[in-house]
């Protein structure tokens, strides 16, 4: 297929590489030309504008940071996408923003699919992402050739915006688990017990999880360099807490985690891994921190 692609960060770059290596034609654009150089080297066509990307594409994929970024790109894509085209957005944005973009495109006969992903850079590179998408179910056959190259688990959640709701739920559970790992590490240290051994024991029990393995491992080794930048989880929580406020959903655990993320950001650790939530707890009693 002729596919447009915009957004070549930690997730977007390997996703674009998978599409190119599978033989799809890619039309690419980036605010910084250098960001798309790798794609051009692999055979992609560099475009001069977002509208130019849209003009020659059956499907345009975007993978950027926030709601405003996606809505800004959608306004430009709408000027060039032909009726029957699809805009697939892999970003994590507000469900309400996804619905606005869907309405914008629908007025021009274009379909919009919100398809946020989970799995991080490792999942993007290994094509093992979990893809949760919202949009018309009838689009599934056209999307399958793309999704099958990028992810291991693909679930159609519902109409436009439903993919973003699923991603919000994913982030709620995952980051709450990271915060729980931080509290376990802090309790172990306060009790004078080696968290490395505590974690080892927990991994074999009912608390065993990927979060305890990966993020708990970073806490045990005190390696807070970014695997996942905490600012991104902070951004995701801002979206989900805003959505919860808008629809009146009580999220008491998430509200507490949100405050811990706020404290992390206030300390200037947004570029560090989210396992730095342990350091937030340690600042309450620095004399007892390891």
Give the active site residues: 167
Phi first, then psi, for residue 5 (nearest 5°) are: -145, 130
CA–CA separation, 268 and 125 (whole Å): 29
Phi first, then psi, for residue 131 (nearest 5°) are: -110, 120
Q: Which alpha helices (H) appear in the chain, and where do they start and end?
A: 12-21, 37-41, 50-55, 67-77, 95-106, 120-126, 140-150, 162-190, 195-203, 210-221, 230-247, 252-266, 277-282
Q: Which residues pair with 62 in a beta bridge?
A: 6, 89
Closest CA to 106 of 63, 67, 128, 136: 136
Tell me if 97 sits within 8 A of 67, measured CB to CB: yes
CA–CA separation, 47 and 115 (whole Å): 24
The per-residue b/e assignment along 74-95, b for 16 or more CB within 10 angstroms, e otherwise, is: bebbbebbeeebbbbbbbbbbb
* Residues whose CB falls within 8 Å of the CB of residue 213, separated by 6 or more in sequence, listed in order: 203
* Token couple for 244: 């919860």
DSSP string, 153-198: EEEEEESTTHHHHHHHHHHHHHHHHHHHHHHHHHHHHHTT--HHHH
CA–CA separation, 245 and 255 (whole Å): 11
């Amino acid at each position: 297929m002729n596919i447009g692609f915009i957004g070549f960060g930690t997730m977007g770059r390997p996703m674009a590489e998978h599409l190119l290596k599978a033989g799809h034609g890619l039309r690419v654009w980036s605010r910084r030309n250098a960001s798309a150089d790798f794609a051009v080297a692999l055979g992609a066509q560099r475009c001069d504008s977002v509208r130019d990307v849209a003009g020659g594409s059956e499907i345009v994929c975007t993978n950027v940071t926030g709601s405003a970024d996606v809505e800004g790109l959608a306004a430009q894509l709408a000027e060039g996408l032909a009726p029957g085209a699809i805009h697939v957005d892999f970003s994590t944005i507000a469900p309400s923003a996804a619905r606005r973009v869907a309405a914008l495109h629908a007025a021009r006969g274009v379909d919009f699919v919100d398809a946020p992903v989970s799995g991080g850079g490792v999942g993007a590179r290994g094509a093992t992402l979990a893809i949760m998408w919202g949009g018309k179910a009838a689009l599934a056959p056209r999307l399958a050739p793309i999704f099958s190259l990028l992810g291991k688990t693909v679930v159609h959640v519902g109409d436009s915006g439903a993919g973003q709701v699923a991603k919000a739920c994913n982030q709620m559970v995952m980051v709450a688990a990271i915060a729980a790992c931080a509290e376990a590490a802090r309790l172990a240290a306060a009790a004078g017990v080696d968290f490395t051994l505590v974690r080892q024991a927990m991994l074999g029990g009912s608390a065993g999880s990927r979060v305890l393995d990966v993020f708990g491992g970073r806490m045990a080794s005190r390696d807070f360099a970014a695997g996942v930048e905490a600012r991104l989880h902070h951004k995701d929580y801002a979206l989900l807490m805003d959505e919860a406020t808008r629809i009146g959903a009580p999220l008491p655990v998430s509200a507490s985690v949100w405050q811990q993320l706020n404290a992390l950001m206030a300390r200037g650790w947004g570029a560090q891994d989210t396992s730095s939530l342990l350091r937030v707890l340690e600042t309450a009693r620095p004399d007892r921190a390891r």
